[in-house]
Amino acid sequence: MTGRTMHQTDPTDSTDSTDSNGTSDTTDSIGTADTATGTPDGTGTAAARAVSAAHTVHAASGAAAMAAEARAPDTTGPGARLLRAAAVAATLPYLALKTAWLAGSAIGIPEGSVLLERTVFFTVANAVTMAMDAAVIVLALLLTRPWGRKVPAPLLLVPAFTATGLLTPIIAGFPAQLVLRALGLGADPAARAAGESFLHGWVYLVVYGGFTVQGLALAGLFVPYARRRWGSVWQGASGTRLPSPTGVAAGAAAALGTALGALYTYWAFGGTAWLGAERAAQHSAETGAVSAVHAVCALLAGWCAVLLARGGTRRPVWPLVAGWTGSAAALCWGLYLLVVPLAPGIGEGGGTPSVILLAYAAQVVTGCLAAAVLTRFATRRRIPS
């Protein structure tokens, strides 16, 4: 997994503005007049109290309206309801596995796996990843319920960006691996056995299959939501160039993305230099498919950032969509791959070749730079948060 506009104008906003401007001026003038003339009958005080009471009633009615909207019946179309149900259902196998592991079960874990060691690292990792998958349920509801339109943009965009980044490589890479395996081009038995010493093979199918469904369902929900709430971001031409510092960031993202694209493409087509002996021995078309996905994401992140920074007369729809997807995938998966070697007993850590670690770090930097350009592009178009 896996942007947006913004902002749906609330009719109560203009009412609030009018009331506060108009009535505040009235209250001030009344109070000033009474003070100047020394009116003893307290007319100014009474007027101020009346205005204050009116504000209180208005605020209460606004809160009641928001509460009523939150309780409003679901008017989402059947397609969106189906996608929401699919996203929620797809989280259940993963949540069940994580719950079982946290409770001490060894389901899906073979004898001798490092996962059987009940370390603090694995306990925390299971709890965090379980919470992240549960957040998919909240995100699916947020994108389809009336109260979701009231959520501040950052509270939606950050988890949506993270979901895009973590799920996109799985959506693209996992089905490709299954096809390659079906064609007899998958990993050899020795490499597959090495993977199954960590988890049983069926666990990968269940978990990554669920992630694929989650990603597709959330994408189907997020796109129309973003169009309704933030459609003005990609309306009209891209506009003038972004300020020079943003252009420098875009250029750096493109340079790093190009270097990463070349490196991962080399690995995707069978190159084994800088992989280390163990990884080189396990290299296959399946691992090549994963490298190809990382190459595409890095290139999209860097060069879409350049397109947005340069501006122009074309609509920015595709640079925004592709740049959002590429930067999220580069950042989130790069960060994840940097954290995995820290796990005790996984056999990574100091055994990971330095070039691979540098590639992971470069993915993170590329994703951050490209995301900064996307953010600057959106804010320049005066999109409310």
Please write the tens of the pLDDT for every residue from 223-273.
999 988 888 777 777 778 888 899 999 999 999 999 999 999 999 999 999
Q: Is residue 307 part of a domain?
A: yes
Predicted pLDDT of residue 115 = 84
Q: Is residue 52 part of a domain?
A: yes
Q: Which residue has the tokens 């299959």?
A: 209
Q: Which residue has the tokens 């002996």?
A: 277
Mean predicted lDDT score pLDDT of the chain: 80
Amino acid (1-letter code) at residue 154: P
**pLDDT band at residue 122 under the 50/70/90 scheme:** confident
- Beta bridge partners, 239, equal 312
Q: Is residue 92 part of a domain?
A: yes
Q: At what angle do helices 285-310 and 153-182 cross, to 10 degrees?
A: 140
**pLDDT band at residue 35 under the 50/70/90 scheme:** very low
Predicted pLDDT of residue 294 = 97
**pLDDT higher at 49 or 360:** 360
* CA-wise closest residue to 170 among 90, 101, 266: 90
**Do 243 and 187 sit in the same domain of this protein?**
no
**Do 131 and 187 sit in the same domain of this protein?**
yes
Q: Is residue 4 part of a domain?
A: no
| Category of 289 on φ-ψ map: left (φ > 0), alpha (ψ -120 to 50) or beta | alpha
Domain that includes residue 183, residue range: 76-234
**pLDDT band at residue 131 under the 50/70/90 scheme:** very high
CB within 8 A of 183, min separation 6: which ones? none
**Do 58 and 82 sit in the same domain of this protein?**
no
**Do 89 and 175 sit in the same domain of this protein?**
yes
3-state class percentages of the chain: helix first, strand second, coil last, to nearest 5: 75, 0, 25
**Do 174 and 84 sit in the same domain of this protein?**
yes
**pLDDT higher at 352 or 371:** 371
**Do 174 and 102 sit in the same domain of this protein?**
yes
Q: At residue 52, does pLDDT exceed 70?
A: no
- Picking from 208, 234, 260, the residue at the C-terminal end of a domain is 234
Q: At residue 337, does pLDDT exceed 60?
A: yes
Q: Is residue 5 part of a domain?
A: no
Q: Is residue 16 part of a domain?
A: yes
**Do 281 and 305 sit in the same domain of this protein?**
yes
**Do 87 and 213 sit in the same domain of this protein?**
yes
Could you tell me if 250 and 309 are in contact, meaning their C-beta atoms sit under 8 angstroms apart?
yes
Q: Is residue 326 part of a domain?
A: yes
**Do 81 and 120 sit in the same domain of this protein?**
yes
Region 189-214 average pLDDT = 84
Helices (H), 231-284: 244-268, 277-282
Looking at the 3D structure of the chain, how many domains does it have? 3
**Do 272 and 382 sit in the same domain of this protein?**
yes
Predicted pLDDT of residue 346 = 63
Lowest-pLDDT range of 1-10, 86-95, 161-170, 222-231: 1-10
Q: At what angle do helices 285-310 and 354-380 cross, to 10 degrees?
A: 30
Phi and psi at residue 310, to the nearest 5°: -75, -25
- Picking from 234, 252, 277, the residue at the C-terminal end of a domain is 234
Region 74-91 average pLDDT = 88
**Do 64 and 154 sit in the same domain of this protein?**
no
Q: Which of 70-84, 108-122, 353-367 has the highest mean pLDDT?
A: 353-367
Region 122-136 average pLDDT = 93
**Do 269 and 380 sit in the same domain of this protein?**
yes
Q: Is residue 6 part of a domain?
A: no
CB within 8 A of 238, min separation 6: which ones? 307, 308, 310, 311, 312, 313, 314, 315, 316, 319
Predicted pLDDT of residue 350 = 52
Q: What tokens appear for 255 in the block? A: 């340079």
Q: How far apart are CA 1 and CA 336, in angstroms?
A: 13
CA atoms within 13 A on the CB side of 340: 15
- Picking from 215, 234, 253, the residue at the C-terminal end of a domain is 234
